[in-house]
């Protein structure tokens, strides 16, 4: 399941109102483009929604139909247009969520996210006319982080392994808990920068009988995924020894009413004579 670092809509609305209030109070009559949160995390192959809001007051006389652009900025010199562009490599993968061009909500959905989408950041930019002047305003960008599903199981009879592929970001933390306390923690090693995408975070630890294990992936302080490990069942030899007891008990319980019934029947027969 994808965990999105997004606050509730009502909180966001409040934030927008506050932003406008602050702008007006400061006398800064500028229109703003906000991109919040500045980081989202999705599972590989899911659809990622990236938020963008165009905030302005009626007094700012923003003309109708501002033009929306979304760019992927990979480096200072490299930029790919996501929207709108019939020639973009993204042309079939990007949808603008609100089709009303005058809506403040200029968020997009990037479909079927792949590891390569995790490089760089995505910028929302608006081109418009306000108070009879042409203007351009852009947001601060959003980073897209990606993770795959987690493998948590036996490496061999004595070792337990947890592994997960993630996009390159220092914020990802893999931790292993034994009976509720953390025994291992792993982050991307900044000293061994590999160009590979994705990066595998993994730990191996000796398996102890009767202990409970859990593997977790966090992004900063937010838990993204968690999986427990079930100890394999006891060997069949010990199971068989345990079984006769309840079976014997069951028979014993059944025997009680039968004995009572037999006694009653005998008593009846004796009385009839």
Site residues for ligand NAG per CB under 6 A = 9, 12, 46-47, 51, 97-98, 105, 107, 111, 148, 151, 155-159, 163-165, 198, 200, 204
**Please, what is the minimum distance in Å from the beta carbon of residue 202 to ligand NAG?**
7
Indicate the burial class of 172 (C-beta count within 10 angstroms; 0-12, 13-18, 19 or more).
Answer: buried
Task: Identify the helix (H) or strand (E) that includes residue 185.
Answer: strand 181-187
DSSP labels, 127-152: EEEETTEEEEEE---EEEEEEEEEEE
**Please, what is the minimum distance in Å from the beta carbon of residue 55 to ligand NAG?**
11
State the pairing for strand pair 39-43/142-154.
parallel
Of 45 and 261, CB closest to ligand NAG: 45
Is residue 78 reached through a cis peptide bond, with omega within 30 degrees of 0 on the bond before it?
A: no
**Please, what is the minimum distance in Å from the beta carbon of residue 229 to ligand NAG?**
15
User: CB under 8 Å to 29, separation ≥6 — which residues?
Assistant: 23, 57, 59, 60
**Please, what is the minimum distance in Å from the beta carbon of residue 60 to ligand NAG?**
20
**Please, what is the minimum distance in Å from the beta carbon of residue 87 to ligand NAG?**
21
Of 133 and 196, CB closest to ligand NAG: 196
Of 219 and 225, CB closest to ligand NAG: 225
Return d(Cα 124, Cα 12) in angstroms, integer. 18
Of 158 and 238, CB closest to ligand NAG: 158
Of 109 and 249, CB closest to ligand NAG: 109
Of 129 and 184, CB closest to ligand NAG: 184
- Look at residue 119 and give its three-state secondary structure: coil
Helices (H), the chain: 9-26, 236-242, 244-272
The answer to whether residues 39 and 75 touch, using CB atoms and an 8 Å cutoff, is: no
Q: State the Cα angle at 238 between 234 and 242, rounded to 5°.
A: 110
Of 107 and 137, CB closest to ligand NAG: 107
**Please, what is the minimum distance in Å from the beta carbon of residue 248 to ligand NAG?**
39
**Please, what is the minimum distance in Å from the beta carbon of residue 43 to ligand NAG?**
8
Give the DSSP letter of residue 234: P
| Tokens (6 digits) for 58 | 């009626």
């Amino acid at each position: 399941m994808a965990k999105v670092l997004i606050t509730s809509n009502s909180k966001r609305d409040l934030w927008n109102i506050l932003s406008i209030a602050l702008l007006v109070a400061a006398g800064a009559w500028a229109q703003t483009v906000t991109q919040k949160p500045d980081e989202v995390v999705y599972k590989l192959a899911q659809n990622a929604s990236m938020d963008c809001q165009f905030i302005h007051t009626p007094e700012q006389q923003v003309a109708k139909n501002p033009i929306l652009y979304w760019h992927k900025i990979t480096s200072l010199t490299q930029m790919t247009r996501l929207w709108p562009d019939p020639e973009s490599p993204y042309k079939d993968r990007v949808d603008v969520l609100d089709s009303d061009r005058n809506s403040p909500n200029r968020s997009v959905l990037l479909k079927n996210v792949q590891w390569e989408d995790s490089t760089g950041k995505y910028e929302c930019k608006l081109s418009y006319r306000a108070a009879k002047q042409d203007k351009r305003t852009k947001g601060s960008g959003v980073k897209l982080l990606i993770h795959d599903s987690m493998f948590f199981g036996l490496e061999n009879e004595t070792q337990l392994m947890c592994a997960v592929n993630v996009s390159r970001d220092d914020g990802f933390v893999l931790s292993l808990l034994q009976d509720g306390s953390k025994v291992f923690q792993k982050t991307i090693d900044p000293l061994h920068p590999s160009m590979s995408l994705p990066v595998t975070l993994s730990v191996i630890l000796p398996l102890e009988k009767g202990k409970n294990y859990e593997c977790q992936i966090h992004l900063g302080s937010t838990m993204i995924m968690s999986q427990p490990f079930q100890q394999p069942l006891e060997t069949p030899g010990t199971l068989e020894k345990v079984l006769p007891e309840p079976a014997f008990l069951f028979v014993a319980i059944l025997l009680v009413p039968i004995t009572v019934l037999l006694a009653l029947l005998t008593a009846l027969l004796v009385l009839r004579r």
